[in-house]
Amino acid sequence: MSWFTDRLESLTILLFKQPDVIVDFVFNNGQLHVVLANQGKSPAQHIRVKFHQPLNGVDGRKVVSEQALFHSTEYLPAGKQISTFLDTTQAYFAREEALLISLTVGFEDRFGRHYQRDISHNLAIYKDIGYLQ
């Protein structure tokens, strides 16, 4: 997207009080969490996240991208976020898991209008961050 398109989308969300659902990764003291968040000004419904590749975590024992959080969230109020533990950075990077994560988030507003956005993350940015254990 261009700078203009990004700004136009942000302005539209603010003016028309639309939902704005994202998936983000949060680093906290050596742990990675995946967050589903509605940053918009109104509730989101029927949220579905499609990861373009499996997202393995919890020491490689769980396919985090298959959690119900990403496939069955029916309602997410404005300003709410839900996080799930992915893994420790040490374990995740030692297994040489995917660093480039791409996904598509689809959701609806209360009027049934459908929204979709593609999001990409590069988890390599967390490799060099220091923390205390």
Residue 2 located in a structural domain: no
Query: For residue 130, what pLDDT is reported?
Result: 84
Q: What percent of the chain has pLDDT over 70?
A: 92
Domain membership flag for residue 4? no
- Show the DSSP H helices in the chain as ranges: 3-16, 68-71, 89-94
In a domain, 54, yes or no: yes
Domain with residue 77: its CATH number is: 2.60.40
> Which amino acid is located at 50 in the chain?
K
Give residue-wise pLDDT tens across range 2-20: 777 777 766 665 566 899 9
pLDDT 10s digits, 23-43: 999 999 999 999 999 999 999
Residue 29 lies in a domain: yes
Q: Which two tokens stand for residue 82?
A: 């839900």
Let me know if residue 67 belongs to a domain: yes
> How many structural domains is the chain composed of?
1
Q: Residue 31: how many CB atoms within 10 A of its CB? A: 16
Q: Where are the alpha helices (DSSP H) in 17-130?
A: 68-71, 89-94
Q: How many Cα atoms occupy the beta-carbon half-sphere of 111 within 13 Å? A: 7
This prediction has a pTM of 0.85
Domain that holds residue 69: 22-122
